[in-house]
Each structure stands twice: as C-alpha cells, then as structure tokens.
Amino acid sequence: MQVTKKDLEKSQIELTVELSPEELAPYIEKGAVKVSESVKIEGFRPGKVPLDILKAKIGEMTILEEAAHLAINKTLDEVISQNTMDRQAIGQPQINVTKLAPNNPLEYKVILSVLPTVALGKYKGLDLKIEEAVVSDKELGKALEDLREMRAQEKIVDREVREGDKIIADIKLFLDKVPVEDGQHQDLAVMLGKEYFVPGFDKKLLGAKKGETRKFELPYPAEHHQKNLAGKLVEFEVKVKEVYERELPPLDDSFAAFFQLKNLEELKKGVSDSLANEKKRQVELRNESAMLSKIIDDTKFGDLPDTLVDSEVKNMLAELEQSIVRQGGKFEEYLEHMKKDRGALMLEFAPNAVKRVKSALVIRELAIIEKIAVSHEEIHAKIDELKKQYAGNQEVLKMLGEHGYHHYLENVLTNEKVIAKLKEWNYGPTGAKQES
C-alpha cells in the first residue's frame, strides 16, 4: 500500500492511497461473497456463487465497488494514524474513490482537517492588572430594593396615577402615524418610576385615571437596542385600564424575617455576600478572558480549519438556546423578537467562535509543553463527587459511567489546571470586597 501526503489550505491534508491488484485481491473475494448473499442465482446457495458466474450475472464493477468499500474500511484508520502523528486529525474525513477498474490498482483520496500549528509567544510574567470585584453600597441598596419590590402589596384604587403605582394598559406605538411592528401591547403591566419604555414615559401618565387615553410623543435614544426606533420621535397612545397602589414593606428586622433571618444586618450581609460571589465569578471570567487574549495576540496560528470554527459556532448557538429554554422561554420566539434567523446569529457568533477556538488551542498547547495533566485518581474523584451531587438522577448517573464522559472530564479538568497555572504565572488571585 502506497500513501502520498499533500498539504492543503485551511489546515487540511490530502492522502492518496493506492492498493496494488495483489493487495486488492482478498477484498475482491470478500466482496464477491458479500454481494452474492443478496443475489439469487438458480442452483447456488446465497454466498456460494462462483466468482465467474457472479461476474456474468451482475457485472464485475458491482463486485469491485464492494471490494473498494471493504478495503477502505479496513485500511483508513491505519492510513490516517500513520500520516497525522504530528497533527491531530479532527472531524470526519472526505473519501473519494479515484481509480477502480478490473485488474488495476485501487486508488482513493482522503481529505481531512487537522489541528493547526500553534507557535506560542510569551505566556509567563505578563504582569497583568487584576480587576477587583467590588460591591458598591449603591448595588447593595438596589438589591435590597428589588427584594422589597418582590414583597410589595398591591390593591386596585379609584384615583389618578401616581409615582410608584402599577398600571395595566393598552399601549400602541406609531412612527409618522403608522403602527410600529411589534409595537402594539394589550393588558401590559407598567411600573411607574421604572422608565419602562424610554425616559419621560412615566411622567406622561402621572395624573391619568382608569379609562383615560393619553397621546404623546417621545424621542428614543440614538443607542436604543430597538434599531427601528433608535433616534426617532415615537408617538404613543396609552389607555389606562386599571390602577394599582403598591405598598413596599419597610426595610427592617421584620422584613428580614420573611427570609428566615434574624435581623436586617444579617439580611444585608447575606445579600452583600451573594453579590460579591457573583461579581467575583464575573470578574474572574473577565480576567481570564483578558489574559488569554493577551497570549493569543502573541501566538502564531496556522490556518484554522472551517470545521473547528463551524463546530464552535454551533456550540454557541446551542448554549444560547439552552439558556433561553432554562429561563422558560422559547428559542423560536426569541428569534422572532430579535428579527433574526439561526443563520444570521451564526454569522454574528463567528468572531467570538474564532477567539474561543484559539483559546482552546493555546490551552491544549500549553498542557503539552508544560506537561500539565490529570490523573485517573483525579478523574474518578470528580466523578464520585458528581455521583453524590446527582444521586437519584439515573440519566446523569448513566452518563457519568460512559467512557466518552471520562474523556470529556479529563479535558475539562486539564483546562482548569492550565488556567490556574496561567493565573499563577501572570497575576495573583482575585477577591471581592464591599466598597463603603
């Protein structure tokens, strides 16, 4: 068997494989047996038809095609492994039979993507500045106010609208007297004082009563997320259908008791700690991203295979869909609201997908160079921890026992070790604190 290797663009290689007539002969015999099993020829049992008679009945090329299929299946893994020892193959190979004729060699070509070359630049001693996670008094105050809002008592009142009320209203938006697409809302709950639509909206409704309709115009900010309205003067028509007075509980020890806490100070500490932990998590992610970006900028990459970027884009799309579903939404409704389809989102995701792919390649290369790995004991310890966490969930427990999951977990834990080392080399640990 002869194999010729050729480098292509986009980190692809082409392997041309040739089997001589002598090497192909055993596969022709096996191919003939297999084909004959599905052919009825009078006087012969399935699988026992002599080769000459079978050729005359169905044609020699049918047998050769089956032989080629068997030969490729038998030789492909060996061909790929022996010719990609320096570059890991990824994705599914493309296979084409290029020569197949009686009494001639079999030739087939394999095109496959491989991981690109990665030439790391500086990745130690970068002297990066840590962004600290700070919880301000303003943020703590807002979080406590949100808790009060959740415990607010509401009652219908027969009076004019005041600051802090909730109203139920029908709201219509127009541009030059033409209804705005998706700008018609029925029985919408609006909290006065929250600037539900745009600044100034609430003020236009103060003093209105149940059954009253108010018409007014307001400019939308140029940076507004609704691009069709951004920077434009929008006409509103608002009919007040119900007015609710809202009474917020006082922020005191009795309020803390709602959350089974001893006093207000304990509530404040719990909320502050929760905000600090979330901020710390967000800041650590930003610090990690900034660090990897710095390393990526100083790293030289070969051409990224399309299959790697395409796969990451699909992962990002799946992550978004799962996030929306977890929050109780429907992905198709989200797309409709955003006025986009999956293809448009995938195009938007492409630049970030490239960065994520490069980050993964850098981490992989660092693990190899620095000999960072995880032991079987560490993997099994993590699996045992997960089994306790998901005890009773048979679907998860089954997944934890699969070989593929062990490989996935090995990658995850290795990546965590590499990131921890990078942080150690380039800056110290981050923390979160309360800003007074």
User: Which pLDDT score, from 0 to 100, does residue 141 have?
Assistant: 93
CA 138 to CA 198: how far, in whole Å? 22
Choose between 341 and 39: higher pLDDT: 341
Q: What was the pLDDT predicted at 409?
A: 93
For tokens 């900034």, the residue is: 290
Pair 71, 106: CB distance under 8 Å:
yes
CATH number of 270-434: 1.10.3120.10
pLDDT value of residue 303: 92
Share of the chain above pLDDT 90, in %: 69
Write b or e for each residue in 354-368: b if 16 or more Cβ atoms lie within 10 A of its Cβ, otherwise e: bebbbbbbbbbbbbe
Query: What class is the 2-114 domain?
Result: alpha beta
Mean pLDDT of all residues in 329-348:
87
What's the pLDDT at 55? 73
Tokens 């394999």, residue? 110
Asked if the domains 153-247 and 270-434 are classified in one and the same CATH topology, the answer is: no
In this prediction, residues 156-169 reach a mean pLDDT of 94
CA distance 243 to 212: 11
pLDDT digits (tens, 9 = 90+) for 248-273: 999 999 999 999 999 999 999 999 99
For the chain, give the longest Cα–Cα distance.
100
Residue range 186-190: average pLDDT? 93
* CB atoms near residue 12 (< 10 Å): 19
The stretch 378-387 carries a mean pLDDT of 93
What is the spatial distance between Cα 422 and Cα 424, in angstroms, rounded to a whole number?
5
Query: Of all helices (H) and strands (E), which one includes residue 3?
Result: strand 2-8
Q: What CA–CA distance (Å, rounded) separates 88 from 115?
A: 6
Whole-angstrom distance, CA of residue 355 vs CA of residue 358? 5
- pLDDT at 169 exceeding the cut of 70: yes
pLDDT band at residue 225, thresholds of 50, 70 and 90? confident
Q: How many helices (H) and strands (E) does the chain have?
A: 12, 13
Question: CB under 8 Å to 180, separation ≥6 — which residues?
Answer: 173, 174, 228, 229, 234
DSSP result, 261-303:
-SSHHHHHHHHHHHHHHHHHHHHHHHHHHHHHHHHHHT-EE-P
Q: What pLDDT digit, counting tens, does each position of 272-299 carry?
A: 999 999 999 999 899 999 999 999 999 9
Please check the confidence at residue 5 and state whether its pLDDT lies above 50. yes
> In the numeric block, which tokens belong to residue 64?
């050769």
More confident residue, 431 or 65: 65
Residue 323: which region, alpha, beta or left (left: phi > 0; alpha: psi -120 to 50)?
alpha
Residue 164: its H or E element: none
Distance CA 353, CA 358 (A): 9
Residue with tokens 């006409």, as numbered in its chain? 235
Q: What is the mean pLDDT of residues 242-247?
A: 95
- 48 — pLDDT class (breaks 50, 70, 90): low
Confidence of residue 329 (pLDDT cuts 50, 70, 90): confident
pLDDT class for 428, splitting at 50, 70, 90? low
Q: Domain coordinates of the chain in residue numbers?
A: 2-114, 153-247, 270-434
CATH of domain 153-247: 3.10.50.40
Check whether 433 has a pLDDT greater than 50: no
Q: Residue 81: CA atoms inside 13 Å, Cβ hemisphere, count?
A: 5
